[in-house]
């Protein structure tokens, strides 16, 4: 991934946090006919492997697990993103030399992928995935709430995915290449939007406790 230095997320824990905040990945593998993508939520186990390990599952009828010809796979995660209008920049009035752009956070994880169908591993996986999203809810749902026979049938319809991360990149393109005044203009402009994604980008840019601040100091 092309990433200028000022946009790099250099702290591993920050990359892990970005994945946890936006766990829907696009898993891309290679078959004889070319790249094969599948969107799926993935659970990150940060202590497993040098950069962490990702787990998820796909439908058994999805041919991806049967047609993969190369063990190397790519998991793509997309964080908040927003269009940036040139009208946000104070420098527009001074020079007029401004153009539109897009601010975004993205993570790319590469490694060897394993597909598995062992029932015990699948049950453990769906329990962990479910708990990771249900914890904190007023009435959390558990896999054990469903009839055991029903769960067994559902497990037969999925294939587990495990990707031990060998290479991990994080990019936060959040106007770090603009002047402080222009950055403030973008934050203020995005804050006036009624779109949630734009408000999230403004909040991320304004935060003092995220990879954006670190990148500004480079």
Rounded mean pLDDT, 138-161:
97
The pLDDT of residue 89 is above 70: yes
Q: Structure tokens of 173?
A: 């393109």
> Would the pLDDT of 124 be above 60?
yes
Does residue 212 register a pLDDT over 80? no
| pLDDT for residue 217 is more than 90 | no
Percentage of the chain with pLDDT > 90? 89
Beta bridge partners of 83: 102
What is the Cα–Cα distance from 23 to 17, expressed in whole angstroms? 10
Q: Is 198 part of any domain?
A: no
Answer whether residue 207 shows pLDDT above 90.
no
CA dihedral 168, 173, 178, 181 (to 10 degrees): -120
In a domain, 191, yes or no: no
- Which residue from 157, 130, 126, 129 is spatially nearest to 59, judged by alpha carbons? 157
Percentage of the residues of the chain whose pLDDT score is greater than 70: 95
For the segment 122-140, the average pLDDT, to the nearest whole number, is 96
Dist CA 47 CA 52 (whole Å): 6
Instruction: Supply the range of the domain harboring residue 111.
Output: 5-85+100-178+211-215
In a domain, 201, yes or no: no
Q: Give me the CATH number covering residue 36.
A: 2.30.110.10
- H helices present in the chain, as ranges: 12-21, 64-67, 91-94, 119-134, 148-155, 180-191, 196-206, 211-216
Report how many domains make up the chain: 1
Residue range 60-87: mean pLDDT, rounded: 97
Classify residue 184: in a domain, yes or no. no
Residue 209 has pLDDT above 60, yes or no: no
Residue 98: band (very low, low, confident or very high) from pLDDT cuts 50, 70, 90: confident
Average pLDDT, the chain: 93
Q: 123 lies in a domain?
A: yes
Q: Is the pLDDT of residue 163 over 70?
A: yes
Specify whether the CB–CB gap between 199 and 190 falls below 8 A.
yes
Residue 202 inside a domain? The answer is no
Q: Indicate the pLDDT class of residue 103, thresholds 50, 70 and 90.
A: very high
183: number of Cβ within 10 Å: 20
pLDDT tens, 2-29? Answer: 999 999 999 999 999 999 999 999 999 9
Q: Which of 171, 183, 178, 181 is nearest to 211 (CA)?
A: 171
Q: Crossing angle of helices 119-134/148-155, nearest 10°? A: 110
Residue 190 lies in a domain: no
Position 192 pLDDT exceeds 70: yes
For residue 152, pLDDT beyond 60: yes
Residue 63 lies in a domain: yes
pLDDT at 213: 37
Lowest mean pLDDT among 139-148, 166-175, 197-206, 209-218: 209-218
């Amino acid at each position: 991934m092309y990433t200028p230095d000022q946009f790099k997320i250099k702290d591993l824990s920050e990359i892990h946090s970005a994945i946890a905040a936006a766990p829907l990945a696009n898993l891309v593998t290679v078959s004889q006919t070319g790249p094969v993508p599948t969107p799926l939520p993935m659970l990150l186990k940060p202590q497993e492997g040098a950069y962490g390990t990702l787990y998820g599952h796909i439908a058994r009828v999805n041919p991806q697990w049967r047609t993969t010809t190369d063990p190397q796979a790519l998991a793509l995660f997309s964080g908040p993103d927003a269009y940036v209008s040139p009208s946000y920049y104070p420098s527009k009035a001074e020079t007029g030399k401004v153009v539109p752009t897009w601010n975004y956070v993205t993570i790319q994880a590469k490694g060897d992928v394993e597909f598995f169908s062992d029932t015990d591993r699948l049950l453990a996986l769906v329990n962990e995935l479910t708990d990771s999203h249900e914890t904190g809810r007023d009435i959390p749902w558990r896999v054990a709430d469903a009839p055991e026979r029903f769960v067994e049938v559902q497990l037969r319809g999925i294939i587990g995915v495990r990707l031990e991360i060998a290479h991990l990149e994080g990019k936060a393109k959040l106007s770090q290449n603009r002047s402080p005044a222009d950055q403030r203009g973008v934050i203020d402009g995005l804050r006036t939007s009624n779109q949630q994604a734009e408000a999230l980008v403004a909040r991320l840019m304004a935060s003092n406790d995220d990879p954006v601040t670190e990148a500004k100091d480079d």
